[in-house]
Amino acid sequence: MQQDLAQILAIRALGWMAGEEAVWLAFLGASGADAAQVRAEAAQPAMQRAVLAHLLREDDWVRSCAAALAVRPEELALAAAVLDGAAGRNWT
């Protein structure tokens, strides 16, 4: 997956997350951000990484988001790996 496609998928996932109250509130609580900050930083790679990292915490969220976005759940994980770059790779 190319970087730009990973970023687009992260932004789409953010849109889905914002419509899911429990997921959204959990993200705001975990990130310490408010809705205005998330909106202002949505195009920033750090926010996109945070969105996907949060989403990937729960299998049910991944499945629901993937279904809503008409992508395979694996694509969300791949997008997260692409946005993490070399720093996100793990040998285990």
Residues 27-77 have pLDDT tens digits of 999 999 999 999 999 999 999 999 999 999 999 999 999 999 999 999 999
pLDDT (0 to 100) of residue 85: 80
Whether the pLDDT of residue 15 is over 60: the answer is: yes
28 within 8 A of 34, measured Cβ to Cβ: yes
Ramachandran quadrant class, 10 (left: phi over 0; alpha: psi -120 to 50; beta: rest): alpha
Q: What is the pTM of this model?
A: 0.87
Residue 63 Cα distances to 1, 2, 53, 60, angstroms: 19, 22, 14, 5
79 within 8 A of 6, measured Cβ to Cβ: yes
Cα–Cα distance between 48 and 6 in angstroms, integer? 9
pLDDT (0 to 100) of residue 1: 85
Longest dimension (CA), the chain: 37
